[in-house]
Amino acid sequence: MANMGFSQLDDTELPAPAVLPPPAGGVVKRSKTADSERIAKLIDAVATKVPDERVAQCLTSTKPCITASVKALRIVVPIYVKVYKAIWQVYSKLPINVCSMLIGLVLAFFGGTYVASLAALSAFQQFGWNKVQVELQVVWEQLKLVQQANEEDNMMDEDGDGVADVDQIAANELAQRKIEMAMKSITEPARLQRAFGALFSAYLAVLATLRLEFARTTAFALSIVEMVSLTVLRAVLPAVTAALGQELAHWAKTIIETSLFFVAIIFAWLIQTIISAFYSGLRGGKMFADALIQELIDRDLLDKVPFVQKPFDPDESYLDEVIGYAVAAAGFSFQLFNGFQVPFPLDILFLPLTILEWFLKIQISWTSSPGTMQV
């Protein structure tokens, strides 16, 4: 695990990032509201091209929310990238036993909270982690070129009036300009296309593996819905129908069944979380104990540990079991008493992983079987 960094490419070496020429015309300073206005214009441009009028109206009505979210992501994502890079640099320099100890602690203390994410990581390793890393590196390098070109394009003032050109053009023209800018900045479109295809194929393979692994969870939720749906409908349907009114009464049954499905899925995943937390606690505790004992042996420190038989025999000693079960109990208790939520400030550090966890759970639950929602 200590050498899971991006591997060197063999016959598909990436070229060094291209150095783009300086923008033509003058360079201007942009106002704080320029980014918001430009994002809003891009949303308007997309809304005009969407064939479905309802989707276009949704984009237009949620434009302030989308604009704020994009601006927040542009601030937050670079911070997370820097933090994770620093953590990875420290982790990659640690001895293999220390790395195994850390992985064991993660499994013991967070195995239930991030059950789907950890299972996805394991599946990615089985489907060729090195290949996935190479494709991710290709995508990352090309995206950096697009980002660099976009920053330079935002500062261009070809007419020399002191206002950036991107702030003076219409929404459709801005969208077309950004598309052309991205296409020009990408140096290897064919390689990028293959990388996206390979990553998508790997994702589908991982998703299929997760669906099989957690099929019992969704089946359990559907069984709950099947058993209680009739009783719930008899009790709640009249009230919901009256609340919706005559014009929306035909939606009552669908709303109740969908809500019931959501509740059942949440309950099923809670049961799965408890089971996974218990199992991952035992697994992580054993990994931590084995790595700790091996590290003590390598440093000739095990003979100095009291109450340990000399010479140490792992088949005769209970030291690894005592350490492993203690870590497992501590990890499971930590998750249980925290409601399988990550406490502050670790919740901020693990926020991207939490988002990924919910995304994977939704994907697994929604695609586990045809007609999942037909309850």
Where in the chain are the domains? 215-366
- Residue 41: exposure state from Cβ atoms within 10 A (0-12, 13-18, ≥19): buried
295-330 CB burial, b ≥16 within 10 A, e <16: bbeeeeebeeeeeeeeeeeeeeeebbeebbbebbee
Residue 13: the pLDDT is: 45
Q: To the nearest whole number, what is the mean pLDDT of the chain?
A: 79
Phi, psi values for residue 156, rounded to 5° = -75, 140
Confirm if 94 and 2 have CB atoms less than 8 A apart: yes
Residues 6+ apart with CB under 8 A from 220: 268, 271
Residue 344: the pLDDT is: 86
Residue 140: the pLDDT is: 83
Residue 333: the pLDDT is: 93
Residue 266: the pLDDT is: 86
Residue 69: the pLDDT is: 80
Alpha carbon distance 207, 109 (integer Å): 24
Residue 132: the pLDDT is: 76
Mind listing the pLDDT tens digit for each residue in 172-215?
777 788 888 888 888 888 888 888 888 888 888 888 888 887 87
Which three-class secondary structure state does DSSP give residue 217? Answer: helix
Residue 25: the pLDDT is: 47
Residue labelled with tokens 């990388």: 195
Helix residue ranges per DSSP H, the chain = 34-49, 53-61, 63-92, 96-110, 115-126, 129-154, 171-185, 189-213, 215-244, 252-298, 319-337, 346-349, 351-366
Alpha carbon distance 30, 184 (integer Å): 24
> Which value, in Å, is the radius of gyration of the alpha carbons in the chain?
27
pLDDT under 50: residue ranges of the chain: 1-25, 369-375
Mind listing the pLDDT tens digit for each residue in 76-86?
888 988 998 89
